[in-house]
């Protein structure tokens, strides 16, 4: 594969007005992805999250590339759980519809737990289909990393790499 195939081609993210800006960014990203995908005969497109997956789906449809939908979690449901979107809202319903289309079109998916992979496979629109899901576990292997039986002497140091707020349960971490 040519070394420039994985090169970066940054695009401006337009935040407002929200829906038209997002639609523009999806269309622009799809258009910008098509030429290099054709030039390099891309066979697999990896998309990390929903909006990039919509762009990648354009490459899949145009050139027959495989689509790896690296969703990690159910984004719309996470937004509802975090109190950011109402479950009855148009944005939630729209994103869930897009999620359905992406899951149907994806050649493989990526989630963070076996439980979520099983839940996704049980969605009515995926029943009877062979749904490939890869799992990236993000928990500690407690057989390898054990809490000491007694508290060590000296100061305690906690390293936390991640987000704080909404649904991340930071108070429980502390």
3-state secondary structure the chain: CCHHHHCCCCCCCCCCCHHHHHHHHHHHHHHHHHHHHHHCCCCEEEEECHHHHHHHHHHHHHHCCEEEEEEECCHHHHHHHCCCCCCCCHHHHHHHHHHHHHHHHCCEEEECCHHHHHHHHCCHHHCCCCCCEEECCCCCCCCCCCCCCCCCCCCCCCCCCCCCCCCCCHHHHC
Task: Kindly list the domain boundaries of the chain, sorted by start residue.
Answer: 10-139+156-173
10-139+156-173 CATH pick, 3.20.20.100, 3.30.559.30, 3.40.50.2000, 3.40.1260.10: 3.40.50.2000
Measured CA to CA, the distance from residue 22 to residue 25 in angstroms comes to: 5
For 78, how many CA atoms within 13 A lie in the half-sphere containing its CB?
14
Model pLDDT, residue 5: 53
Model pLDDT, residue 66: 97
- Does residue 80 come out as left (phi exceeding 0), alpha (psi in the -120 to 50 range) or beta? alpha
Model pLDDT, residue 80: 94
Give the angle 137-140-142 at the CA atoms, nearest 5°.
125
Model pLDDT, residue 172: 80
Model pLDDT, residue 137: 84
Give 10-residue mean pLDDT values along the chain (174 residues).
59 89 94 92 94 95 96 93 93 96 96 94 93 86 82 84 75 79
Model pLDDT, residue 101: 96
């Amino acid at each position: 594969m040519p070394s420039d195939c994985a090169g970066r081609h940054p695009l401006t993210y337009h935040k407002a007005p929200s829906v038209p800006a997002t639609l523009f960014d999806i269309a622009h990203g799809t258009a910008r992805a098509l030429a290099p995908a054709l030039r390099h005969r891309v066979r697999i497109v990896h998309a990390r999250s929903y909006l990039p997956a919509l762009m990648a789906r354009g490459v899949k449809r145009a050139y027959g590339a495989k689509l790896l939908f690296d969703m990690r979690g159910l984004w719309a449901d996470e937004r509802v759980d975090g109190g950011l979107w109402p479950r009855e809202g148009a944005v939630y319903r729209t994103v869930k519809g897009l999620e359905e289309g992406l899951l149907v079109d994806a050649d493989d998916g990526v989630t963070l737990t076996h439980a979520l992979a099983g839940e996704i496979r049980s969605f009515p629109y995926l029943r009877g289909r062979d749904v490939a899901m890869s799992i990236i576990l993000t928990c500690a292997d407690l057989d390898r990393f054990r809490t000491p039986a007694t508290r060590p002497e000296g100061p305690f140091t906690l390293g936390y790499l991640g987000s704080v707020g909404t649904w991340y349960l930071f108070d429980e971490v502390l």
